[in-house]
Amino acid sequence: MQPDITTTPALEVHDLTVAFDRKPVLWNIDLKLPAGKLIGIIGPNGAGKSTLIKTVMGLLPLSSGYVRLYDQPIDNVRGRISYVPQRESVDWDFPASVMDVVLMGRYGKLGLFRRVRQADRDVALDCLRKVGMEAYANRQISQLSGGQQQRTFLARALAQQADIYFMDEPFAGVDAATEKAIIGLLQAMTEAQKTVIVVHHDLQSVTRYFDWVIMLNTRLVACGPTETTFTQQNLQETYGGKLTLLSDVGDLIRREHFPNREGISKPAL
């Protein structure tokens, strides 16, 4: 029997430490995430955001601790989990069409003879439509723009029809209109009790986009509802001196209602 996803945490991470060459890049992380929320992971470059997702997905070994999804080990629930990797980590020269890539999202759900059926193609096409990419179904992925590549990977994730989605910087290289359309799509998914966890760099849009936020910098700074967690103090702790690049954090939070990306003045580096 499947646990009730409205009461069981979608994700529980306990005492998690991950190290490369004995150097910890995630240290003693403890968190629980509710199901049915849109959740942002924020933190500076190198904070361990991608490492956290990859570890939760079982792609990297843990030095200590455990991870449970819907109160189960990952191997029991793999079919319910979907992962969109950071775009730079994908081999875009791989010879595959957009449709091929989206159909890969169906592999976990293929029937007895492991053949792609018309029903799978229909789901794939529907997912391409949701991200505005149906006209590109037969295009080779090497011939897509960055934003189109990102949308293709999003369509592949949607085609998995999972319950929990991990997306590593899905808005990198995506134009403002597409970002808006995608965030609407993600919000609709959470209304259907899906849990969507997104690595995000644009601090200005955090309060508009996310119900919950994970603030990370090797250690967990904070995790909770955005309203109470995305505070000036936690931002300062997460970004430390680097936040001075963004002039004034208080100013940043006040400006969150101005949706244009250029609204915040970043001093030249």
Ligand X SMILES: Nc1ncnc2c1ncn2[C@@H]1O[C@H](COP(=O)(O)OP(=O)(O)OP(=O)(O)O)[C@@H](O)[C@H]1O
Which residues here bind ligand X, judged by CB under 6 A?
Answer: 20, 25, 43, 45-51, 86
Closest of 47, 49, 51 to residue 59, by C-alpha: 51
45 binds, among Mg ion, ligand X, none (CB under 5 to 8 A by kind): ligand X
Q: Is 50 in the site for Mg ion (CB under 5 A)?
A: yes
Return the number of the residue (60 or 74) whose C-beta is nearest ligand X. Answer: 60
- Using the contact rule CB under 5 A, the part of the chain among 19-27, 48-56, 99-107, 135-143 near Mg ion is 48-56
Smallest gap from residue 45 Cβ to ligand X (A): 4
Q: What angle do CA 124, 125, 126 make, to 5 degrees?
A: 90
Smallest gap from residue 96 Cβ to ligand X (A): 24
> In terms of C-beta distances under 8 Å and separation of at least 24 residues, what long-range contacts does 119-128 make, across chains too?
120/159, 123/159, 123/161, 124/99, 124/155, 124/159, 125/99, 127/102, 127/155, 127/156, 127/158, 127/159, 128/98, 128/99, 128/102, 128/152, 128/155
Strand residue runs (E) in 103-246: 164-168, 195-199, 212-217, 219-225
Closest of 110, 48, 45, 107 to residue 82, by C-alpha: 107
- Residue 220 to residue 218: CA distance in whole angstroms: 7
259 binds, among Mg ion, ligand X, none (CB under 5 to 8 A by kind): none
- Which residue do the tokens 């003879």 mark? 113
48 binds, among ligand X, Mg ion, none (CB under 5 to 8 A by kind): ligand X
Smallest gap from residue 90 Cβ to ligand X (A): 14
- Residue 7 to residue 5: CA distance in whole angstroms: 5
Which residues, numbered 202-261, are part of the site for Mg ion (CB under 5 A)? none
- Using the contact rule CB under 5 A, the part of the chain among 42-50, 118-126, 144-152, 239-247 near Mg ion is 42-50
- Residue 47 to residue 136: CA distance in whole angstroms: 35
- 12 and 190 Cβ atoms separated by less than 8 Å: no
Return the number of the residue (108 or 173) whose C-beta is nearest Mg ion. Answer: 173
Return the number of the residue (24 or 132) whose C-beta is nearest Mg ion. Answer: 24
Q: Give the three-state DSSP class for 175.
A: coil
Of all residues in this chain, which one has the CB nearest to Mg ion in the complex?
A: 50
Return the number of the residue (82 or 159) whose C-beta is nearest Mg ion. Answer: 82
- Using the contact rule CB under 5 A, the part of the chain among 33-41, 47-55, 129-137, 229-237 near Mg ion is 47-55
Smallest gap from residue 41 Cβ to ligand X (A): 8
Return the number of the residue (162 or 216) whose C-beta is nearest Mg ion. Answer: 216
Return the number of the residue (49 or 80) whose C-beta is nearest Mg ion. Answer: 49
Return the number of the residue (53 or 164) whose C-beta is nearest ligand X. Answer: 53
Smallest gap from residue 125 Cβ to ligand X (A): 32
Smallest gap from residue 43 Cβ to ligand X (A): 6
